[in-house]
Amino acid sequence: MALIDWHAERSSSPRLDIVQGDGDAIDLAAVRSYRLGRVREQMRHFGIGALILSDPVNIRYATGARNMQVFSARNAPARYCLITTERVILFEFTGCEHLAMGLETIDEVRPARTASFVAAGPDIVAREKSWAREMADLIATEVGRNVPVGMERMNAGSALALAAEGFPLVDAQQPLELARCIKSDEEIKCAVASLRATEAGVAALREAIRPGITENALWSVLHQAIIERDGDYCETRLLSSGERTNPWFQETGGKPLAANELVALDTDVVGCHGYYSDFSRTFHVGPNAPSATQRELYRLAYEQVHHNMAIIEPGLSFREYAERAWDIPARFHANRYYLSAHGVGMTGEYPYLYHRADFPDAGYDGIIQPGMTLCVESYIGAEGGHEGVKLEEQLLVTDTGTRLLSHFPFEQALLAP
């Protein structure tokens, strides 16, 4: 097996670790160090001896290593990472070992041994057992036998084979989500840089709105702008127009925009430095003024978002938030957005904050803490109605309150009485 002498290579392959954010320099090395420290802090808290990460977002969070994120998410475990409290070993996709060169968070890079049916065919069981033996020997060398091992998103055969090697397995979701939910100051700079780039893309999209352009063509304007500004990809394709705005979650398609209808979008951008830029806006095609019904939908969505942002403060419990949140009018309740707010970092993440009516069945308690970044959501569209409005803002919880991170303006014509 060919291994890279990582310590020898680091000095010869410097990385650009100080970059310009929204007026502030971002120390990416400090970002990586903080994130890996958060992961190890949670490992110690939960008594986990080793983590095996396969989610490409979590690999990037813990190490800074990025490689074919969408491909890797679909083809897990095409690449994976072993983390202990002392060492990080990245198993990179074949031929890509050089991509993480210079990352101080990584002690060693090895080629991944992909245990999937696509890679192994009928020999998949043997491949899984071989993978498990190799991983078991490595973990035993690094931290000893019989230590709890956290795993995520590996195929079931690999997990069963590793358990058969004598390691108690635990789900890695909880420690990773708890690690990710508290952001450092440098991380917030990354999030802000991602938001500013996405806002430029949404501005270009808004400028392109006209009767006759298709939803797909309009959505492509945002994609082009995001890639041009060094963002990664749009995680969803939530842009719809006219009657397709109600109910929500109809993906963008070939429908041409018609005059005087609404166009709603949710950015869901994995943007600059891998940070999620997540805000929603609804526009009016024109050329006439918005109708009274359109203005009412928009005003109510705006009211919901701003009411709920105003009640967020450090120390507030998730249950208290649900009890104080905006009361959705009955005629809009059936089509409500499934969450009132949610955490956001490198993707959508912990915590989920539920509506008052949904809390008894779906909700869980916790505490809103400084360093959390949250997206506050609203969708207003009557059941059986013609159109709907989607709005959303992204904010940071501070020691004393909140700081709004998303700055894209709202539509004054739709807010008019």
All structural domains of the chain: 6-180 (3.40.350.10), 185-415 (3.90.230.10)
Least confident of 133-142, 145-154, 189-198, 402-411: 145-154
Tell me if 254 sits within 8 A of 216, measured CB to CB.
Answer: yes
pLDDT band at 11 (very low <50, low <70, confident <90, very high): very low
pLDDT at 24 over 80: no
Q: At what angle do helices 56-63 and 173-180 cross, to 10 degrees?
A: 50
d(CA 133, CA 156): 15
Q: Three-state SS for 327?
A: coil
Residue type, 78: A
> Comparing C-alpha atoms, which of 53, 136, 137, 139 is closest to residue 90?
53
pLDDT band at 15 (very low <50, low <70, confident <90, very high): low
Summarised one tens digit per residue, pLDDT across range 94-128 is 888 898 888 999 999 999 888 877 777 888 899 89
- Cα distances (Å, whole numbers) of residue 94 to 102, 125, 322: 18, 21, 48
Burial class (CB in 10 A: 0-12, 13-18, 19+), 14: exposed
Q: At what angle do helices 215-228 and 185-208 cross, to 10 degrees?
A: 140
pLDDT band at 71 (very low <50, low <70, confident <90, very high): confident
d(CA 338, CA 169): 32
- Cα distances (Å, whole numbers) of residue 146 to 75, 87, 171, 190: 29, 18, 16, 39
Summarised one tens digit per residue, pLDDT across range 313-366 is 999 999 999 999 999 999 999 999 999 999 999 999 999 999 999 999 999 999
β strands within 247-388, DSSP E: 262-266, 269-270, 276-277, 280-284, 341-344, 348-353, 373-380
Question: Which residues lie below 8 Å from residue 38, measured CB to CB, with a gap of 6+?
Answer: 179, 180, 182
> Comparing C-alpha atoms, which of 56, 61, 65 is closest to residue 36?
61
Alpha-carbon Rg of the chain, whole angstroms?
Answer: 23
Summarised one tens digit per residue, pLDDT across range 160-171 is 999 999 999 999
Paired residues of 214 in beta bridges: 256
pLDDT recorded at residue 67: 87
Q: Tell me which residue has tokens 């994976």.
A: 80
d(CA 306, CA 322): 15
d(CA 331, CA 322): 20
